[in-house]
């Protein structure tokens, strides 16, 4: 087990810069998830840590040693691939023990380690089967088993759940978390699924266009996003971005969303945003759960307004409502019993205590 | 009463429908359709493969003038001839050595070509296929000039190193070497292209997984490439073994079986006794003798292909 550090790591393919100078410190035992849309450089970063891609510039350190020129086999890492990459001609046990056999471990130890890993992953019965005879979830377990038996310094996961169906994905997600709680190996996990990132990670690294947008715990990213990209990427349904501007009305600061709708900001927010030039083009960032039905006991900072719903989506435990504010589509989450109907008028409440204010041009959360 | 009428009508209708759709149903069955679709090919094979095969079996049982039935007489005659056993031995050496080197060279070159960036790969693939696409009768003529004992390019080049001149086609050992060399040159591109296709079908991630598991280049070939290519290797080897065993043109043009029958193989020997010595039944017997040898090879090579085919 070891910590992993990336120092100004750059990856360039001919004229395309896939990774544009990444700095990242992963401490021992930590579960880090790299998340971002496809083409953001997350898989390339993982493959550079694995040694499967050369780095163009910068340094990668594992356990304090620079490994830029160390081949994958000498980095003491294990990797789980998206399509599992199991050797089709070998049984489960042979797949899992392949790395150990190449390193000439004693037979008894190999057997012990394979048995232990199989027990941990609940695949003891499958040990003599070939990959072809396994389901997707079972193959995934074997791929993890192959990583575990090596007892490496670092686990690398490259979108390991994206080939599974939705239900199995949730199940395996929990499985991966349990395994990490048991073996505590430093883990770098790549996914494009923000739910996976949020549920698995100690810290999430959000990447976009070859750069790191923000690093933080799932809660930090959710509640204190640094940029519009992070704010929009983390959370489902995504955060609403409503064009707005600040106004001074009778010494108080208010936020105007449309000609009709303007709200006074709660005192804490007013103090925070008071210094902003009133001419800036701004966006109000508000998560759907902070746009709810209006009920009797509204706290301070919660403002109500009337709108006409376009579409409603009953989800069971909640109903998603979609409506427009001056042409900007907005999503809210209301109680399923609040009587939301397609095309019907509804009074909604906006919780401005949880608002974010973004600069529309720079995308920075203010 | 009404019930009975309805019942009656339905029974009658069903019966007539049955009659009408007898052919229709037969056509609906998948196996029937499949049979009719393959019928043209079955007829072609019967005409051009089955008939000649049966006819050659028939020929092999006749005497030299093809007037009298002699049963296994031709075979017992052949078995007593030393030349025949030499031909059997030479055919086996020729086929096995040539196929082995074709496969080896094809495998190695396929790896090189596989590692060329996609851009330049087509050019190389095209060039490396040239030996295979030139009609062997023509290209072997060029080799014949290269092997010429007095003024050939080979001996001329070797003379700079103080070697030779080598009597490429006149000396038994060198003649065997030359015949195999030309066959390898002609046949290796077939292996190259088959192995290249097989290599391309091995997922890159298997190599990456092996690299992380600690395999070096040789272990990657041994534990990943070869097992993944086993079926293709088995089938191409068998196919090539059959074709090489039955080779005629290269030996015929280079040595005509000489010196003293020492490069004679089945096809050329069958031609020698059948056509040139006018004993067609004996020639047919020689060529028929290839069948059991190839059948054993086929069983041996193909025995695991089906099983392995199911697992990957």
Please state whether the peptide bond connecting residue B165 to the residue before it is cis, i.e. omega within 30 degrees of 0.
Answer: yes
A220-272 tens-digit pLDDT: 999 999 999 999 998 888 999 999 988 888 878 888 888 888 888 888 888 88
Inspect the interface and report whether the beta carbons of B215 and A73 lie closer than 8 Å.
Answer: yes
- Across the range B46-65, mean pLDDT stands at 84
Residues of B in contact with A54 (CB under 8 A): none
Question: Between residues B29 and A200, which one has the greater pLDDT?
Answer: A200
Average pLDDT, chain B: 81
- Across the range A307-330, mean pLDDT stands at 91
Count the Cβ atoms, other than its own, within 10 Å of residue A19. Answer: 27
Q: Considering CB atoms only, which of B211, B230, B311 is closest to A72?
A: B211
Inspect the interface and report whether the beta carbons of A88 and B228 lie closer than 8 Å.
Answer: yes
Residues of B in contact with A44 (CB under 8 A): none
Inspect the interface and report whether the beta carbons of B205 and A130 lie closer than 8 Å.
Answer: no
Taking the Cβ of residue A251 and every Cβ of chain B, the question of whether any pair is shorter than 8 Å is answered with no
**CA gap A198, A28 in Å, rounded:** 20
pLDDT value, residue A323: 92
Q: Considering CB atoms only, which of B215, B308, B312 is closest to A102?
A: B215
B156-189 tens-digit pLDDT: 787 788 777 777 777 788 888 888 898 899 888 9
Closest residue in chain B to residue A156, using alpha carbons only: B212
Which residue in the block uniquely carries the two structure tokens 């040789």?
A: B218
Residues of A in contact with B209 (CB under 8 A): 79, 81, 85-87, 146
A122-175 tens-digit pLDDT: 888 988 999 998 888 889 889 988 988 988 889 999 988 888 888 888 888 898
Decide: B305 and B235 in contact? Cβ < 8 Å: yes
Inspect the interface and report whether the beta carbons of B209 and A85 lie closer than 8 Å.
Answer: yes
Q: Is the dihedral of CA A33, A35, A38, A42 positive or negative?
A: negative
Inspect the interface and report whether the beta carbons of B209 and A52 lie closer than 8 Å.
Answer: no
- Of A9-13, A55-59, B130-134, the one with minimum mean pLDDT is B130-134
Closest residue in chain B to residue A87, using alpha carbons only: B206
- Of A316-325, B64-73, B268-277, the one with minimum mean pLDDT is B64-73
Domains present along chain B, CATH in parentheses: 2-60 (no CATH), 73-311 (1.10.3720.10)
Q: What is the DSSP letter of B160?
A: T
Residues of A in contact with B205 (CB under 8 A): 81-83, 85
**CA gap A52, B215 in Å, rounded:** 13
Residues of A in contact with B206 (CB under 8 A): 85, 87
Q: How far is B310 from chain A (nearest CA, A)?
A: 9
Residues of B in contact with A110 (CB under 8 A): none
pLDDT value, residue A219: 92
Confidence band for B2, pLDDT divided at 50, 70 and 90: very low
Give me the helix-helix angle, B82-115 and B290-302, nearest 10°: 40
Inspect the interface and report whether the beta carbons of A52 and B215 lie closer than 8 Å.
Answer: no
Measured in residues, chain B has a length of 312
**What's the pTM?**
0.77
Decide: B180 and B251 in contact? Cβ < 8 Å: no
Taking the Cβ of residue B129 and every Cβ of chain A, the question of whether any pair is shorter than 8 Å is answered with no
Closest residue in chain A to residue B218, using alpha carbons only: A102
Tell me which residues of chain A, numbers 12 to 31, contact chain B at a CB-CB cutoff of 8 Å: none
Inspect the interface and report whether the beta carbons of A103 and B214 lie closer than 8 Å.
Answer: yes
> Is residue A322 pLDDT above 90, yes or no?
yes
pLDDT value, residue A250: 81
DSSP H helical segments within B81-171, as ranges?
Answer: 82-115, 118-133, 136-146, 153-159
Taking the Cβ of residue A81 and every Cβ of chain B, the question of whether any pair is shorter than 8 Å is answered with yes
């Amino acid at each position: 087990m070891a910590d992993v550090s990336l120092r100004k790591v750059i990856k360039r393919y001919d004229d395309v810069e896939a990774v544009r100078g990444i700095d990242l410190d992963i401490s021992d035992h930590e579960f880090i998830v790299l998340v971002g849309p496809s083409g953001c450089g997350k898989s390339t970063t993982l493959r550079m840590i694995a040694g499967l891609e050369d780095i163009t510039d910068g340094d990668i350190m594992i356990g304090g040693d620079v490994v830029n020129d160390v081949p994958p086999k000498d980095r003491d890492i294990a990797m789980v691939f998206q399509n599992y990459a199991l050797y089709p001609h070998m049984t489960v046990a042979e797949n899992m023990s392949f790395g150990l056999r190449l390193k000439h471990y004693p037979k008894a130890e190999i057997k012990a380690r394979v048995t232990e890993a199989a027990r941990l992953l609940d695949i003891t019965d499958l040990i003599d089967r070939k990959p072809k005879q396994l389901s997707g979830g079972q193959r995934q377990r074997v791929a993890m088993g192959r990583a575990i038996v090596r007892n490496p310094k670092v686990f690398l996961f490259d979108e390991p759940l994206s080939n599974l169906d939705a239900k199995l994905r949730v199940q395996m997600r929990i499985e991966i978390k349990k395994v990490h709680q048991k073996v505590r190996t430093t883990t770098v996990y790549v996914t494009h699924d923000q739910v996976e990132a949020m549920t698995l990670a100690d810290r999430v690294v959000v990447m976009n266009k070859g750069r790191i947008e923000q690093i933080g715990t799932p809660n930090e990213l959710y509640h204190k996003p640094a940029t519009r990209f992070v704010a929009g990427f983390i959370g489902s349904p995504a955060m609403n971005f409503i064009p707005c501007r600040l106004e001074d009305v009778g010494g108080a600061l208010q936020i105007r969303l449309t000609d009709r709708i303007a709200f006074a900001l709660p005192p804490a927010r007013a103090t925070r945003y008071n210094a902003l030039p009133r001419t800036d083009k701004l966006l109000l960032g508000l998560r759907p759960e902070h746009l709810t039905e209006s009920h009797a006991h509204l706290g301070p900072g919660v403002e109500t307004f009337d709108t006409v719903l376009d579409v409603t989506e009953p989800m069971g435990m909640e109903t998603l409502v979609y409506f427009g504010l001056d042409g900007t589509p907005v999503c809210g989450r209301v109680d399923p019993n609040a009587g939301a109907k397609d095309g019907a008028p509804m009074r909604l409440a906006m919780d401005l205590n949880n608002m974010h204010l973004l600069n529309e041009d720079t995308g920075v959360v203010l | 009463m009404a019930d009975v009428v309805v019942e009656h009508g339905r029974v009658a209708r069903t019966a007539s429908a049955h009659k009408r759709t007898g052919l229709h149903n037969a056509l609906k069955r998948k196996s029937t359709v499949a049979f009719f679709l393959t019928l043209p090919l079955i007829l072609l094979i019967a005409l051009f493969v089955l008939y000649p095969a049966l006819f050659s079996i028939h020929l092999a049982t006749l005497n030299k003038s093809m007037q009298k039935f002699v049963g296994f007489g031709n075979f017992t005659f052949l078995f007593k001839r030393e030349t025949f056993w030499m031909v059997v031995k030479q055919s086996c050496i020729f086929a096995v050595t040539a196929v082995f080197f074709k496969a080896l060279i094809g495998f190695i070159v396929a790896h090189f070509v596989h590692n060329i960036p996609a851009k330049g790969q087509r050019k190389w693939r095209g060039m490396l296929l040239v030996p295979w696409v030139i009609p062997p009768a023509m290209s072997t003529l060029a080799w014949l000039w290269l092997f010429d004992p007095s003024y050939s390019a080979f001996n001329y080049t070797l003379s700079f190193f103080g070697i030779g001149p080598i009597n490429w086609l006149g000396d038994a050992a060198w003649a065997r070497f030359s015949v195999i060399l030309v066959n390898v040159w002609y046949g290796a591109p077939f292996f190259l292209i088959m192995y290249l296709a097989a290599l391309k079908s091995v997922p890159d991630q298997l190599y990456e997984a092996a690299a992380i598991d600690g395999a070096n280049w040789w272990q990657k070939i041994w534990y990943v490439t070869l097992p993944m290519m086993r079926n293709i290797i088995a089938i191409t080897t068998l196919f090539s073994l059959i074709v090489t065993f039955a080779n005629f043109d290269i030996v015929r043009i280079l040595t005509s079986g000489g010196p003293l029958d020492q490069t004679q193989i089945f096809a050329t020997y069958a031609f020698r006794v059948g056509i040139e010595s006018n004993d067609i039944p004996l020639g047919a017997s020689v060529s028929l003798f290839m069948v059991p040898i190839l059948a054993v090879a086929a069983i041996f090579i193909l025995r695991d292909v089906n099983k392995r085919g199911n697992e990957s």
